[in-house]
Structures are given as C-alpha cells and as structure tokens.
Amino acid sequence: MKEVVYRFEGKNIRTIIDEDEEYWFVAADIAMIMEISANDYIRYYNSAVIAENKRTFQRSELRIIRCPCKTIKTVNIDGVRNFCRKSESAHAKDVVNWLQREIIKVPDYKAYIKDLEDNARQMLKDNHIYYCAVDVAKALGYFNPKASVDKYCRNIYIKDADKSSSPEELIYIPSSDIYRLIVHSKQRIAKQFAEWVFDSVIPEQMQQL
C-alpha cells in the first residue's frame, strides 16, 4: 500500500492506495472538508441508517485499515460520491468536482477509442465506417467475443461472405456499438468511461436541449 496526502481547499486528505490501485480516503478527513463530524459520516454507513434510508449498502465502500498503533476508517471514491449525492452539505458538489478533477482524471478517451478503431478491420457502408466487431471485442478482453457482440451491440451489419473470413468475422459495427462494448467490458477504463458518459457527457447534452 502507498500513502499520499491530497489537498482540498487548504485541508489535508490522507489517502491510501492499495495493491489494486484503489483509493481509500481517511473518513475523518472527508468529514472535515464536508464540515460534519466523523461520527456522523461513519453513521451513514451503519445498518440502522441504511435501513431507514432504504438504501442498498455496498460494504465495499468502507474499509477499516489496521496499522501498528491504530485502526483507520477509510472510504473509497464510490463511497464519497454516494454520500455527497445524499448530503445537504454546501461542500458536496465541490467535493465531487474535486474527485473528478484530481483523482479520477478522465483519460484521453478519444485516443483510446481511436486506437480500438485503428486496430480493427474496417469497411465503408453508406458513407459510414463500420468496424469488425470481433476485432474490437478481442481487444477489450472479452472471453467470448461473438456472444458479447450479440448481447451488447444494437446496430450490427453483416458483410457479404468471402472465402477468407469466418462467419463471426463478417459482423461489423459502428462507433456507437464500440462504446457499448467498452462500457460492458471488464477493463479498468470501462467504469471510468461509463461514469464520464453518464455523469458528464449526457448531463451536458441534456442542458443544451
């Protein structure tokens, strides 16, 4: 594990990064920047409050880390974000924005998607580019690429058969289905990509309607 200290509006947030590169923030520090008591923050996670709020609690959001001299209650990114969504603290929105800006740090999705597209076989149909679905699914680590394409893709185009291609290699998809495959993949970037789409891109588009 690695220990680092982040700053939020002049206040320290002690953070532990575990072997899976997951961030765990000291709950007392999160409570401090939200200007609530540490006990109130932790109480949010106890079974009585959960039952009262009828909330399905994900215990993986909270973790107790034992050090030689003490135990430390920590909470991960999802835990902080879920609390902020329900909190009436004036700092809730600022904390979520800070997480997105300083911790999550949206990757360069444009370059990532372009790499997937460039490494897949392509075809032009009605002035639109389609990509070999199996090539994309394999690059995303799907165990059964054909089944994954059948399950998640919505705009499949079947290319005319040729002697050099197997049936599954004749399935082509547009960029929109590449996004669907990314969201449902097991790669680490999938969760971040989904959060970016649903928490940033779509809300911004809806505001422009």
Query: Does the structure show a pLDDT above 60 at 51?
Result: no
Q: Which helix (H) or strand (E) holds 23?
A: strand 23-26
Q: Which helix (H) or strand (E) holds 27?
A: helix 27-34
Mean pLDDT of 191-204: 76
Give the pLDDT of residue 57.
43
Query: Does the structure show a pLDDT above 60 at 165?
Result: yes
Q: Residue written as tokens 């902080």?
A: 80
Helix or strand or coil: residue 17? Answer: strand
Query: Does the structure show a pLDDT above 70 at 29?
Result: yes
Give the pLDDT of residue 136.
93
Mean pLDDT of 41-64: 54
Single pTM value for the model = 0.53
Q: What share of the chain is helix, strand, coil (3-state, %, to 5)?
A: 50, 20, 30
Give the pLDDT of residue 190.
79
Token couple for 22: 């997951």
Give the pLDDT of residue 88.
79
Which residue has better confidence, 129 or 194? 129
Cβ proximity of 140 and 185 under 8 Å: yes
Return the DSSP state at 143.
S
Point out the least confidently predicted range of 56-65, 116-125, 139-148, 152-161: 56-65
